[in-house]
């Protein structure tokens, strides 16, 4: 019992999401050595149920470490935090009315440290890496993961190597530089960056923080599921709409719901999960429509929504499994539609979303028009990052930015 008091994590082992083989959690692991598939951390759920209550959690500080028992870090001293988590779940009125639904919320991850929800995964993964003795980390990134890792590695005193496509938003380049990481701009996409990280591992001795290859980023992202549950008084919504690239958040939330059910904190149906992708990078949408269990790599992937510009993902089969199990949907939207989604969210609710967040608005519009979502259903959209990280993507594209938007002040004001 004495160890329990100091050791608030109930982590027991890692388990392969494909073959089910189990591995020790106290050794550094990437994917399953047998089949190369992602490993999920598993916990002593009975122990969690006996150790903590919803009321105790409600009294803890408003960040993701309030779910301490469900997270893998053993010692508090190893937690590397910038205050991430417990973002507001904003009920919408004007946006809901425009889209023809009555119960619509936006989970605003734009308010996170580093301006995107990548902070969740990186806080937990960097903390656990620190605990396991890692000194040097590397990551392939579509932009925001690189920025987040650079920041958390700086706070942890680790060396970080960040590989991003040459055309990532300026903000991502500046944040990596500011945090003193080693940055590499790569010709191509995140998949090309991933190959460089893999090839460099032997020579550079870095730990590969690629999402779902490293087992703990998903644990940070699953806290979005805990928060939605807690913020809606432990009654999940009917539908969650999520812009998926690597899919970590989508599968992470599903894992969170499973864990909450195991300890008896949730009753009733889980939400139908909606995966939103961009028209010119929609591998999961295509595979889902074709009833496939795995996705094929998407050729010539292109979209301004960089976070979902992921032509192939190690967790493809996990996303597709969640869509099937939840009786969810997969929707592809065009760049003009998702940018219009950004404008609509800002004009109706004052939320300045990233393009990926705008994509969820466009997808919701489509699903309501098709009758897949009914007026009274409770719907949560995920705005996964701040519009401020994508300034170069917007001005010309916003409906309110027609030439002549900015005017000289009228004479009588001077």
Ligand X SMILES: *Cc1c(COP(=O)(O)O)cnc(C)c1O
Identify which of residues 104 and 224 has a Cβ nearer to ligand X in the complex.
Answer: 224
Helices 248-262 and 217-231 meet at what angle, rounded to 10?
60
Contact window for ligand X (CB under 6 A) among 71-79, 191-199, 238-246, 399-407: 238-246
Identify which of residues 33 and 297 has a Cβ nearer to ligand X in the complex.
Answer: 297
Token readout for 343 is: 């404008």
Identify which of residues 10 and 242 has a Cβ nearer to ligand X in the complex.
Answer: 242
Identify which of residues 246 and 271 has a Cβ nearer to ligand X in the complex.
Answer: 246
Identify which of residues 87 and 384 has a Cβ nearer to ligand X in the complex.
Answer: 384
Find the shortest distance in angstroms from Cβ 243 to ligand X: 5
Is there a contact between 278 and 307 (Cβ–Cβ < 8 Å)? Answer: no
245 touches ligand X by CB under 6 A: yes
Find the shortest distance in angstroms from Cβ 251 to ligand X: 8
Total residues in contact with ligand X, by rule CB under 6 A: 17
247 touches ligand X by CB under 6 A: yes
354 touches ligand X by CB under 6 A: yes
Token readout for 148 is: 């987040």
273 touches ligand X by CB under 6 A: no
360 touches ligand X by CB under 6 A: no
147 touches ligand X by CB under 6 A: no
Helices 355-369 and 335-349 meet at what angle, rounded to 10?
90
**Interface pattern 201-230 for ligand X (x via CB under 6 A):** ----------x-------------------
Identify which of residues 64 and 263 has a Cβ nearer to ligand X in the complex.
Answer: 64
385 touches ligand X by CB under 6 A: yes
- Residue from the set 248, 277, 326, 360 that interacts with ligand X by CB under 6 A: 248
Identify which of residues 131 and 326 has a Cβ nearer to ligand X in the complex.
Answer: 326
Find the shortest distance in angstroms from Cβ 125 to ligand X: 13
Tell whether the torsion through CA atoms of 219, 223, 225 and 229 is positive or negative: positive
Is there a contact between 11 and 43 (Cβ–Cβ < 8 Å)? Answer: yes
For residues 15-25, one letter each, b for 16 or more C-beta atoms within 10 angstroms of the residue's C-beta and e for the rest, the string is bbbbeeeebeb
Token readout for 253 is: 């939330």
Find the shortest distance in angstroms from Cβ 190 to ligand X: 9
**Interface pattern 280-319 for ligand X (x via CB under 6 A):** ---------------------------xx-----------
* Nearest residue (beta carbon) to ligand X: 307
Subset of 104-133 contacting ligand X (CB under 6 A)? 116, 118
Identify which of residues 92 and 144 has a Cβ nearer to ligand X in the complex.
Answer: 144
Residue 286 to residue 311: CA distance in whole angstroms: 12
277 touches ligand X by CB under 6 A: no
Residue 251 to residue 324: CA distance in whole angstroms: 12
Residues interacting with ligand X, by CB under 6 A?
Answer: 116, 118, 144, 211, 243-249, 307-308, 354, 356, 384-385
């Amino acid at each position: 019992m004495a160890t329990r008091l100091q050791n608030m994590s109930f982590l027991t082992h890692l388990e392969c999401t494909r073959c089910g083989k189990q591995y020790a959690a106290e050794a550094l692991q990437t994917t399953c050595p047998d089949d190369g598939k992602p490993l999920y951390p598993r916990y002593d759920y009975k122990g969690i149920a006996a150790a903590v209550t919803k009321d105790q959690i409600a009294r803890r500080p408003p960040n993701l470490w309030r779910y301490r028992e469900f997270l893998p870090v053993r010692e508090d001293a190893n937690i590397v935090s910038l205050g991430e988590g417990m973002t507001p779940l904003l009920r919408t009125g004007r946006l809901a009315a425009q889209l023809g639904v009555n119960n619509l919320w936006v989970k605003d991850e734009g308010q996170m440290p580093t301006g995107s929800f990548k902070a969740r995964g990186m806080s937990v993964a960097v903390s656990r890496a620190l605990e396991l003795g890692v000194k040097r980390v590397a990551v392939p990134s579509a932009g925001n993961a690189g920025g987040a890792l650079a920041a958390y590695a700086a706070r942890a005193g680790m060396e970080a190597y960040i590989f991003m496509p040459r055309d990532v938003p300026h903000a991502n380049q500046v944040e990596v530089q500011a945090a003193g990481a080693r940055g590499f701009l790569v010709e191509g996409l995140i998949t090309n960056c991933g190959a460089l990280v893999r090839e460099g591992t032997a020579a550079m001795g870095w730990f590969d923080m690629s999402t779902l290859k490293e087992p703990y980023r998903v644990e940070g992202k699953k806290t979005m599921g805990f928060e939605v549950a807690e913020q809606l008084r432990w009654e999940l919504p009917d539908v969650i709409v999520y812009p998926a690239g690597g899919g970590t958040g989508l599968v992470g939330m599903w894992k969170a719901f499973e864990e909450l059910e195991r300890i008896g904190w949730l009753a009733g149906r889980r939400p139908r999960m909606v995966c939103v992708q961009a028209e010119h990078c929609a591998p999961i949408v295509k595979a889902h429509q074709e009833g496939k269990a795995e996705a094929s790599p998407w050729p010539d992937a292109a979209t301004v929504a960089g976070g979902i510009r992921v032509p192939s993902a190690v967790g493809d089969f996990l996303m597709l499994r969640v869509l099937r199990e939840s009786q969810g949907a997969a929707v592809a939207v065009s760049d003009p539609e998702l940018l219009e989604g950004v404008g609509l969210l800002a004009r109706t609710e004052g939320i300045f979303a990233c393009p990926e967040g705008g994509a969820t608005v466009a997808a919701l519009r489509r699903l309501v028009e098709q009758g897949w979502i009914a007026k009274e259903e409770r719907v949560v959209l995920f705005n996964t990052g701040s519009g401020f990280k994508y300034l170069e993507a917007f001005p010309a594209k916003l409906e309110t930015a027609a030439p002549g938007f900015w005017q000289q002040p009228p004479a009588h004001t001077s």
